[in-house]
Structure 1
Amino acid sequence: MIKNRREPYSFQWTCAALAGLAFLAGCASAPAPTEKSTGWVKDEVSDSYVFGYPLVVMDIARDAAVGSGPGQAPVNTLRHAQALPPVGAANPTMPSLDTFDSTGWLDVADEPVIVSLPDSRGRYVDARALDMWTNVVWSTGDAGATRVTGIKAQTVAFAAAGWKGDLPAGVKRIDVPTRYVWLAVRIQTARGRELAAVRKLQRAIRVVPLSAYTGDARPAAQTARSNGAATDSAATVNPVVRAAALDANGFFSRLAQALPDNPPAPDDPHALKILSDLGVTPGQPVALPAAASDAVAAGFSDGRDRVATAPSNLLSANGWSWAGDNAGAYGSDYALRAYTAFTELGLGTKDDEVRAVVLQDSDGHALNGANRYVIHFAAKQLPPVRGFWSITAYTKDGALGESAPAHVSLSDRNGLRRSRDGSVDVYVSAVGSKKMPNWVPAPRSDFKLVLRLYAPKPQATDGSWEPPAVERQ
């Protein structure tokens, strides 16, 4: 099987289905069911793993985050981070050091959930809502460049598709195809400073069901706060790691139980047919083909490899790679959808954010904190943003290295120094000084760099801009 091809992914499902029909037709004339080829099982298990992976990871993330325990918040409630992630702690993969994040899980099964955002008075705010398949259903990026200088007060209602009812005047309706929605509101901060201003904005965010918003019901507690941001149990859960620990039966059982509340898009009925062939039916116990256990295992292993492999339509240049125009709105590009769920869960659209990642220098060697590197941005090669950009170094697993000074990333809003010609040289190493211009502290071991572009311009996602190579000095 060719992996990560460019043609529409539905072609794979169609081929698999046709192959299955041809096989069945051939068996119709056989005198008795003899040994059957299990090649189709391997292919369909692999395809189904890639297809269902985002839903499984999101379901794990929701289960870990919703509740009343440490680091959790009830449904339809925001959990406000009020400190940046501590260096060396067990953090979610590649935590941002540029924003304080307010996150929560909405349940729109019974009625719409109303989200009110305050006027940020010039402060950059990035809010986005994702369905359970990791598609972005709404974001402040929908309003174009307005959020670059802050957002205006606005109220949005997230409603189940097909809900019939009236909303209060001035409330924008957003239809959601899944029962659950992941809401994230990110408020820009300068290396953890300006905490009072950030907290004021956090307190002004309101998330309540429609009946509570209109006064027909008493609102539940709306806020769960953590002074440690990422130090308690639920906040440190990495759903990708949890998903990797599942065997085939555990993975597909989780997928089957999540499907009734979170069905795939209307153009995905072929996916449910293939799952049904494998014994995976929404809401029912899973019964994978017992006579093809080796094929199931091989397909499951192949699917896991494909999810972790960069698809061919991922943008890449000078060792960096990043999602382009299709990010956050994947359609039938299941390979890209699964890969971004694996590497960058919660990624926004091309108008929200770009995260470019590099693990090697210009000679193809792994980045390592024992060395010193420079990234030279020519004056006309600076990251194209309407908002701002930053560079952060992480361990290969996406954690903050213990050797790095707390809460240090490099941002063009944090004292970035330019040369006389307008160019910028960024230095990366484990050993340096806060007085060193444009220094990004790195772990002492192998590491990766993440370049974040907030409110990127079109050049960042259409392939016309390339980040420069990381040169070892």
Structure 2
Amino acid sequence: MKKYLKVISVLAFSGLLTSNVNAFANHWVTIGNVAVNDSVKLNKAAILKLAASAYIYGLPAVFTDFTRQASGAPNNIYAHGHKFPDHTSRLVVAPNNDTNYSSAFLDLGDDAVILTLPDTHDRYYVVPLMDAWTNVFATFGKRTTGTGPQTYVITGPHWKGTLPDGLKQVKAPTDLVWIIGRIQVNSPDDQANFVSKIQDQFKITLLSNWGKADAITSKKITTYDVELPQLKAAQAHQLNVVQAIKQLPIEDYFNYLNALLVKNPGLAADSATLKAFAVIGIGAGKKFKLDGFDAETQAALKTVSAKIYDAFDAQKRNDFKPTNGTKLGDYKTDYLTRAVVAYKGLGALTPEEATYIAYAEDADKVPLAGTRKYVIHFEPNKLPPAKAFWSLTMYDKDRYLTDNPIKRYAIGDRNPLKFNADGSLDIYVQHESPGTAKEANWLPAPADSFNVILRIYIPTDSYLADKATWVNPPLKKQK
């Protein structure tokens, strides 16, 4: 199963999200401001507006399904990550050092599945279920359902049948569902001796096989009648998922989206938006034809995706701050935020489950570098507001874990930290050891540029209600 995680992890677990994405709406496109019907002849500007809107609208579904197909993962089968992340882990951009992953893609078009969750013996874990549009419609785990054994029936939007006695039904909005489970891991020994054994007890069974001793696991992989050389390159690990999708010609992108919409229609609130897209050949079962437009419009359409990704890349990377009521995993009709999150952090946890705060500069707004020494000072009773746990993870300039003499890639409340006499805490962030007396609180940095991510697992209710109740301290350069 490891090979399935290989491609998935290239995209899915970047951890760094974006803020202030609504500024992009004014820069390029605002969805819903083009009123059209079948009798209207659109000018080039209106066509481009619709095309950009449709590209953004469809991006989460395309990224999710492209990731599924690129991984080669059969439907309805778990793939567990059993390797403890260290500096040799190059498959995940900005990997966390706190949890390991268990991933599965469900196809609920033909059958429901039964999801079996084991007793994790009070160990933190989370199993979020995302629909094709990256909305999280169910979350199981320590925060929501506890850590005891649990069993659920996951059904598609059109499923009709009889539930096994005593099992709870969870209805998915789309046939395509992505499960991206995480379980807390504390060390390589913990992974080998405890976590891996627990992971292997997470099970997915077709409802039609439930109770059969000789049930055979399905090896089916859902495909669509869209030939994409970029997908084949991703499957062969010649391109990662982001690179491959960026290279898709606009016609192939939209026809891939059209195929996805057949089995994974948008939400009811999307109907007016989808009706507008249909005028230019975008919709379930439709055919988008680039040669149906004049030469000038064709040339402009070919630039749409590059303009979108350039705008997305220009956004400042920071902790995700929801805007206009939008939050991770519950996007409603905020298609722009949904698309940016899918692009920069597909599979990100909901804010109730985890908060990410990125450090790229010190308190003086100078980029972080291993040539300098820093300290993060937490005042007494002002540690990160976590109900589960928190950590600070070190990354090199390419956002990978960095090798160091004490093999410490992250530091947090699970470490034997030394507090000051007044109850405050100092974390030393630097390349060289701060000395034996301070080494318990040392987060080793590379010799050159770096960044740090603070992760807060299950933030407190007060922090979620008002982020001003706790402000993360800066990295201050030491003299």
Q: TM-score, normalised by structure 2?
A: 0.80
Note closer, same or farther for the CA distance 1:414–1:176 as it changes in structure 2 (3 Å cut).
Answer: same
Aligned-residue offset at 1:468: 1.8
Note closer, same or farther for the CA distance 1:438–1:264 as it changes in structure 2 (3 Å cut).
Answer: farther
1:15 aligns to 2:21 (yes or no):
no
Partner of 2:4: none
2:160 corresponds to which of 146, 158, 164: 164
Amino acid at match of 1:66: G
Note closer, same or farther for the CA distance 1:42–1:377 as it changes in structure 2 (3 Å cut).
Answer: farther
Counterpart CA distance in 1 for 2:300 and 2:370 is 42
Aligned length: 432
Partner of 1:98: 98
Aligned-residue offset at 1:290: 4.4
Q: 187-196 or 395-404: which moved more? A: 395-404
Secondary structure (helix, strand or coil) at the match of 1:184 reads strand
Partner of 2:8: none
Q: Cα deviation per residue 1:314-342 (whole Å; 9 max; x = unaligned)?
A: xxxxx952244711111112222122212
Partner of 2:272: 270
Partner of 1:393: 394
Partner of 2:10: none
2:445 corresponds to which of 442, 446, 450: 442
Amino acid at match of 1:331: K
Aligned-residue offset at 1:422: 2.5
Secondary structure (helix, strand or coil) at the match of 1:16 reads coil
Partner of 1:190: 186
Q: Does structure 2 retain, via aligned residues, the 8 Å contact 1:92–1:237?
A: no
Counterpart CA distance in 2 for 1:443 and 1:233 is 33
Q: Cα deviation per residue 1:389-415 (whole Å; 9 max; x = unaligned)?
A: 111122454322356865621121122
1:41 aligns to 2:47 (yes or no):
yes
Partner of 2:68: 62
Note closer, same or farther for the CA distance 1:277–1:412 as it changes in structure 2 (3 Å cut).
Answer: same
Q: Cα deviation per residue 1:267-310 (whole Å; 9 max; x = unaligned)?
A: 11233233323333334443133430343244333322343354
Counterpart CA distance in 2 for 1:342 and 1:137 is 20
Note closer, same or farther for the CA distance 1:242–1:262 as it changes in structure 2 (3 Å cut).
Answer: same
Counterpart CA distance in 2 for 1:88 and 1:200 is 23
Q: Does structure 1 retain, via aligned residues, the 8 Å contact 2:143–2:353?
A: no
Note closer, same or farther for the CA distance 1:211–1:173 as it changes in structure 2 (3 Å cut).
Answer: same
Partner of 2:9: none
Map 1:201-350; keep pairs closer than 5 Å: 201-215=198-212, 218-220=215-217, 238-288=240-290, 289-291=293-295, 292-308=297-313, 310=315, 320-324=318-322, 326-350=327-351
Q: Does structure 2 retain, via aligned residues, the 8 Å contact 1:155–1:170?
A: no
Aligned-residue offset at 1:210: 0.6
1:469 corresponds to which of 459, 470, 474: 474
Secondary structure (helix, strand or coil) at the match of 2:388 reads coil
CA RMSD of aligned residues (A): 3.3
Counterpart CA distance in 2 for 1:173 and 1:340 is 29
Q: 459-468 or 45-54: which moved more? A: 459-468
Secondary structure (helix, strand or coil) at the match of 2:394 reads strand
Secondary structure (helix, strand or coil) at the match of 1:322 reads coil
Counterpart CA distance in 2 for 1:433 and 1:253 is 57
Question: 5+ residue gaps in structure 1?
Answer: 28-35, 68-73, 223-231, 312-318
Q: Does structure 1 retain, via aligned residues, the 8 Å contact 2:86–2:409?
A: no
Note closer, same or farther for the CA distance 1:145–1:174 as it changes in structure 2 (3 Å cut).
Answer: closer
Counterpart CA distance in 1 for 2:347 and 2:112 is 22
Aligned-residue offset at 1:6: 10
Aligned-residue offset at 1:49: 2.3
Partner of 1:228: none
Aligned-residue offset at 1:80: 1.5
Q: 246-255 or 117-126: which moved more? A: 246-255
Amino acid at match of 1:16: V
Secondary structure (helix, strand or coil) at the match of 2:309 reads helix
Map 1:360-379; keep pairs closer than 5 Å: 360-379=361-380
Q: Does structure 2 retain, via aligned residues, the 8 Å contact 1:370–1:445?
A: yes
Counterpart CA distance in 1 for 2:435 and 2:83 is 21
Aligned-residue offset at 1:24: 6.9
Counterpart CA distance in 2 for 1:55 and 1:445 is 38
Secondary structure (helix, strand or coil) at the match of 1:255 reads helix
Secondary structure (helix, strand or coil) at the match of 1:201 reads helix
Counterpart CA distance in 2 for 1:308 and 1:282 is 29
Note closer, same or farther for the CA distance 1:280–1:145 as it changes in structure 2 (3 Å cut).
Answer: closer
Counterpart CA distance in 1 for 2:421 and 2:239 is 45
Q: Cα deviation per residue 1:117-151 (whole Å; 9 max; x = unaligned)?
A: 1111121122211112111121125x74664xxx0
Secondary structure (helix, strand or coil) at the match of 1:219 reads coil
Q: Cα deviation per residue 1:243-269 (whole Å; 9 max; x = unaligned)?
A: 233343343233223222222212112
1:51 corresponds to which of 24, 47, 57: 57
Note closer, same or farther for the CA distance 1:221–1:241 as it changes in structure 2 (3 Å cut).
Answer: same
Note closer, same or farther for the CA distance 1:107–1:205 as it changes in structure 2 (3 Å cut).
Answer: same
Aligned-residue offset at 1:15: 1.4
Q: Does structure 2 retain, via aligned residues, the 8 Å contact 1:368–1:446?
A: yes
Note closer, same or farther for the CA distance 1:368–1:16 as it changes in structure 2 (3 Å cut).
Answer: farther
Partner of 2:170: 174
1:82 aligns to 2:88 (yes or no):
no
Seq. identity, %: 29
Amino acid at match of 1:386: K
Secondary structure (helix, strand or coil) at the match of 1:274 reads helix
